[in-house]
Amino acid sequence: MRTFVYEKPRDIAGGFEDYLDPATTAVISIDMHRGHLDPDPQCPCPAPRARDLIAPLDTFHDQVRALGVRIVHVKSVLRAGGEDDTRGIPAAWRRTFPLHIGEIPGAPEHALEGSVWTELMTRVEPGDMLVANKRRLSAFYPTDLDFLLRNQRITTVVLDGGFTDCCVLNTAFDANNHNYRVIVLRDLVRGTDETLEAAALSMVSLHLGLVMESQDLLAEWRKSAK
């Protein structure tokens, strides 16, 4: 099995069989919504590098569904009145991220319930599951994702989407702390930039689980199906 350790490919002969059972695995697709991906200048929290993932993720998810592996789409949705954020204790990124990229004109509209910015840009098919109340950086907080996974007897989570160094990394830490097996797909996540993306993937590979390419993981699942 090919994996990546500190961003270098490594063939592993065994020892991770419990990570590779498609029957107890769910793919968690994180924050592939317009609030990050829309090319509109008013996009409230732009993640332009992740726009290139939309079509590849749809293709991968179709392959996942064909193998009977479950998919959970997670997206940020905040109460429209701002009680979860701007009218309470604002999320830290609202102050820190503009120090890097400059003023974000639409930032106050990010992820507001009922807005166009919460619309997913990847495809959701019948049988997929949805978690639509992510309020901060981890897909587990303060959502019901853990309940949903445990109720489906899921023990391994496969993460795709964005940002690698933000919501994906936070979700990977939380999943590990909740005792899930963690796989992050390096070809189907995008970070703030290549440097932070590589750093996040290195941290995952050293501390949290496996870093793999999507087609390598599909090949392992197909082996188990024979």
What's the chain look like in SS3?
Answer: CEEEECCEEEECCCCCHHHCCHHHEEEEEECCEHHHHCCCCCCCCCCHHHHHHHHHHHHHHHHHHHCCCEEEEEEECECCCCCCCCCCCCCCHHHHHHHHHCCCCCHHHCCECCCHHHCECCCCCCCCEEEEEECCCCCCCCCCHHHHHHHCCCCEEEEEEECHHHHHHHHHHHHHHCCCEEEEEEEEEECCCHHHHHHHHHHHHHHHCEEECHHHHHHHHHHHHC
Better-predicted residue by pLDDT, 224 or 179:
179
> What would the pLDDT profile of 6-40 be if each residue is shown by its tens digit?
999 999 999 999 999 999 999 999 999 999 999 99
User: Residue 150: is its pLDDT beyond 80?
Assistant: yes
- Residue 165 maps to which CATH number? 3.40.50.850
- Per-residue pLDDT reduced to its tens digit, 182-217: 999 999 999 999 999 999 999 999 999 999 999 999
pLDDT of 127 higher than 80 = yes
In this prediction, residue 11 carries a pLDDT of 97
How many separate domains does the chain show? 1
Confidence of residue 224 (pLDDT cuts 50, 70, 90): confident
Q: Left (φ > 0), alpha (ψ -120 to 50) or beta: where does 205 sit?
A: alpha
Average pLDDT of the chain is 96
Report the 10 Å Cβ neighbour count for 104. 19
State pLDDT tens for residues 151-180: 999 999 999 999 999 999 999 999 999 999
151: left (phi over 0), alpha (psi -120 to 50) or beta: alpha
Query: Residue 202's pLDDT is what?
Result: 98
- How far apart (Å, rounded) are the C-alpha atoms in residues 37 and 165? 16
Given a cut of 70, whether residue 226 has pLDDT beyond it is no
Whether the full predicted model's pTM is greater than 0.75, yes or no, is yes
pLDDT digits (tens, 9 = 90+) for 83-118: 999 999 999 999 999 998 899 989 999 999 999 999
pLDDT at residue 8, as a whole number: 97
Which structural domain range is residue 209 located in?
Answer: 2-225
